[in-house]
Amino acid sequence: MNEKRSSFTGKLGFILAAAGSAVGLGNIWRFPYLAAKYGGGIFLLVYLILALTFGFALMAAEIALGRKTGLSVVGAFKALDKRFAWLGYLAALVPMIILPYYSVIGGWVTKYLAVYLTGDAHAAAGDEYFGGFISQTGEPLVWFFIFMALTALVVVLGVDKGVEKVSKIMMPVLVVLALVIAVYSLFLPGALEGVKYYLIPDFSNFSATTVLAAMGQLFYSMSLAMGIMITYGSYMKKDVDLEQSVHHIEIFDTGIAFMAGLMVIPSVFAFSGGDEAALGKGPGLMFITLPKVFDSMKGGAIIGALFFLLVLFAALTSSISLMETVVSFFQDKFGWGRKFTSIVVFIFCLLMGIPSSLGNGVWADIRIMGFQFLDFFDFISNSVMMPVVAFLTCMFVGYIVKPKTFIDEISLTGKFKSEKLFVVVIKYVAPVCIVLILASSILDVLGIMKI
């Protein structure tokens, strides 16, 4: 079965493979715009606290679940308790919702790489450029298809190892480049205000929505609550220190997100002249702000091209892991061949992604609960389904199977240092917080109760 599932995760170092899945558009594109929108420093603070508690405990639980059972998501839940296979299905549904719209954004990155390679860097810095691009009908669709096809090609050809090797070099380069861009943008006139906004928490910006957004982002960024880490865990060797691996992935993932924020948010202040409305730009923030930074830099066109190339790779390693999960799910479920399954998933994603792309243009007036398509899929997966899956996983680990099974698995290589934290978070803190936050924010979205 492992053979069939391609060797992407199997033969490579666990941390690298997991980090390849975790680090992606979530860190570079999604984190900065959420931090900008939800209060800057307070969002960062809440995110960090959640990462060290929820993120740690859930990731450890998921990886332990996978390693203990040696199975991917549905099988893993079922193996520990027959009555819970449905939870595996629910988790497996999440990547199917994310992959199509993730690929729409992946398409935007591909487009920007092409723009920088063809010498249009200056035009891309124009105020109307991004909006003009995504509101078209044909072009964003073409780039979305290209990104989706790249992902599918890697999955079908099973050349993930090649991609992984390249990204092993690309990732450190991305870190260095992000650092260079961040430092550069800190020195832009007016940027200091942005640094303050990003780093100093302002408690008056705090709300349940801040916590929900940070929590959804945490799950998304660390590829949690959707079965992916369970599958990765199933490939992890018994002699690897699980606790330490979780810490490594967390530090890496959070570090990149933090730097992406430092790259984007101060620049927003620098280029908007301190106009706070610019912070609420949403999904377009990175695409609007960074081209301006590159345009103001010497050699910015080259830096821009390099940047979008690196982001494209980070996005691809994530989308490949998303597609792998979906494909292997159907393979296992229906016994279909790998090629056939990949084609089915590819077509499904193309169809599902079209509304997310057109929702920025011709279909902008079609709203679901007030959201455009892309934002709706993002909301349903990140703010509803993932918290629900996370809550149920906590129940499963904490009360159905009991933490001991997991603690034993994590302690295989030595003492589980954060055992107490693990138990308290899984049994009490996480479930209570998730329910409270989920309830209040859903009421908020439905307009029933303003918080």
Residues that bind ligand PHE (CB under 6 A): 21-22, 24-27, 95, 98, 220-221, 223, 226, 228, 318, 321-322
Q: Give the end-to-end CA distance of the chain in Å, rounded to a whole number.
A: 49
Query: What letter represents residue 238's amino acid?
Result: K
Cβ of residue 322: shortest distance to ligand PHE, in angstroms? 5
Nearest to 151 by CA among 21, 270, 335, 58: 21
What are the start-end ranges of the H helices in 297-367?
Answer: 300-334, 338-358
Contacts of 244 by beta carbon, 8 Å cutoff, 6+ apart: none
Cβ of residue 29: shortest distance to ligand PHE, in angstroms? 8
Cβ of residue 196: shortest distance to ligand PHE, in angstroms? 26
Instruction: Pick the closer one to ligand PHE by CB: 25 or 113.
Output: 25
Instruction: Pick the closer one to ligand PHE by CB: 98 or 423.
Output: 98
Cβ of residue 81: shortest distance to ligand PHE, in angstroms? 24
Instruction: Pick the closer one to ligand PHE by CB: 22 or 423.
Output: 22
Cβ of residue 297: shortest distance to ligand PHE, in angstroms? 26
Instruction: Pick the closer one to ligand PHE by CB: 188 or 236.
Output: 236
Phi then psi for 343, rounded to 5 degrees? Answer: -65, -40
CA pair distance 108, 102, nearest whole angstrom: 10
Instruction: Pick the closer one to ligand PHE by CB: 121 or 148.
Output: 148
Residue nearest to ligand PHE (CB): 26
Instruction: Pick the closer one to ligand PHE by CB: 155 or 270.
Output: 155
Cβ of residue 34: shortest distance to ligand PHE, in angstroms? 12
Cβ of residue 428: shortest distance to ligand PHE, in angstroms? 27
CA pair distance 429, 286, nearest whole angstrom: 34
User: Distances from the Cα of 7 to the Cαs of 154, 169, 251, 289, in angstroms?
Assistant: 12, 19, 25, 38
Q: What angle, 0 to 180 degrees and rounded to 10, lies between the N-to-C axes of helices 160-186 and 138-157?
A: 130
210-246 burial: b if 16+ Cβ within 10 Å, else e: bbbbbbbbbbbbbbbbbbbbbbbbbbbeeeeebbebb
Instruction: Pick the closer one to ligand PHE by CB: 133 or 220.
Output: 220
Phi then psi for 382, rounded to 5 degrees? Answer: -80, -40
Q: Long-range contact list for 328-334, CB < 8 A, 24+ apart?
A: 328/4, 328/5, 328/72, 328/231, 329/72, 329/73, 329/74, 329/92, 331/4, 331/5, 332/1, 332/72, 332/74, 332/75, 333/74
Instruction: Pick the closer one to ligand PHE by CB: 192 or 384.
Output: 384
Cβ of residue 16: shortest distance to ligand PHE, in angstroms? 14
